[in-house]
């Protein structure tokens, strides 16, 4: 029974790896009117439109991101939805057959009214977004935020907050107020690669890390 259990785990692991490989090879990604730093990785199945994305981000599979500015060192899981246009709820119908929108809905159009573009969305630096999260257009997600699986973010999120739920609410903060202020003041995400090499060993110790960043900026190390 023990051997059978191990075999099942191995088969499941191989199946998972196979699925990831097939997804990566057979499916592409759509990037339109966007600026993405060369160090950022965008995985397959993503649709990115009118976005600016900074350094060393990892954008998971099947993300749809529209009209958004993203900082650096962020980690997005799979099936994340950010931004996009809103449906005109004040109209008689929200169907795209009455809107002047190309490549959306049936080809038959009864009218072609313009729809206002969605508001710009802002994602800070070092933000972690878990699987299947939706973020409403116009929201600002602060630096250091962590968003739990399946959350629906409809309001601004303060720096280093941990949020979850539908609608998303603050559960706790990653650090105390003093540490949060120090991290924000350090602006470590703006360090060069060479500078990060010198302080990366302290990434598990926030206070020490902040201290070393200060020394680095003062040319003490």
154 SS3 class: coil
Q: Most distant CA pair in the chain: distance in Å?
A: 68
Within 8 A by CB and 6+ apart from 121, the residues are: 67, 68, 69, 82, 83, 135, 136, 137, 138, 139, 140
Within 8 A by CB and 6+ apart from 92, the residues are: none
Point out the catalytic residue in the list 79, 87, 103, 131: 87
Query: How many angstroms separate the CA atoms of 96 and 161, rounded?
Result: 37
| 103 belongs to the catalytic site | no
Find out whether 134 and 81 touch, Cβ atoms under 8 Å: yes
CA dihedral 150, 151, 154, 155 (to 10 degrees): -160
| Tokens, residue 86 | 């809103």
Query: Around Cβ 65, how many Cβ atoms within 10 Å?
Result: 26
What are the two backbone dihedrals, phi and then psi, of residue 157, each rounded to the nearest 5 degrees?
-120, 125
Find out whether 85 and 68 touch, Cβ atoms under 8 Å: no
Q: Which residues are catalytic?
A: 87
């Amino acid at each position: 029974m023990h051997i059978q259990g191990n075999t099942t785990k191995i088969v499941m692991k191989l199946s998972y790896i196979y699925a990831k490989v097939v997804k990566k090879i057979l499916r592409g990604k759509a990037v339109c009117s966007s600026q993405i730093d060369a160090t950022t990785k965008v995985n397959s199945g993503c649709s990115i439109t009118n976005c600016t994305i900074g350094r060393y981000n990892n954008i998971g599979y099947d993300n749809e991101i529209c009209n958004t500015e993203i900082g650096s060192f962020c980690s997005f899981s799979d099936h994340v939805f950010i931004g996009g246009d809103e449906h005109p709820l004040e109209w008689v119908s929200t169907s795209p057959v009455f809107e002047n929108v190309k490549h959306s809905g049936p080809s038959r159009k009864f009218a072609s009214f313009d729809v206002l573009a969605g508001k710009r969305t802002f994602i800070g630096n070092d933000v972690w977004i878990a699987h299947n999260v939706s973020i409403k257009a116009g929201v600002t997600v602060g630096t250091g935020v962590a968003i739990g699986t399946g959350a629906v973010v409809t309001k601004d999120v303060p720096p280093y907050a941990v949020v979850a739920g539908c609608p998303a609410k603050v559960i706790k903060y990653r650090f105390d107020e003093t540490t949060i202020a120090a991290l924000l003041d350090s602006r470590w995400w703006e360090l060069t690669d060479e500078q990060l090499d010198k302080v990366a060993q302290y990434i598990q110790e926030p206070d020490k890390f902040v201290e070393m960043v200060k020394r680095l900026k003062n040319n003490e190390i």
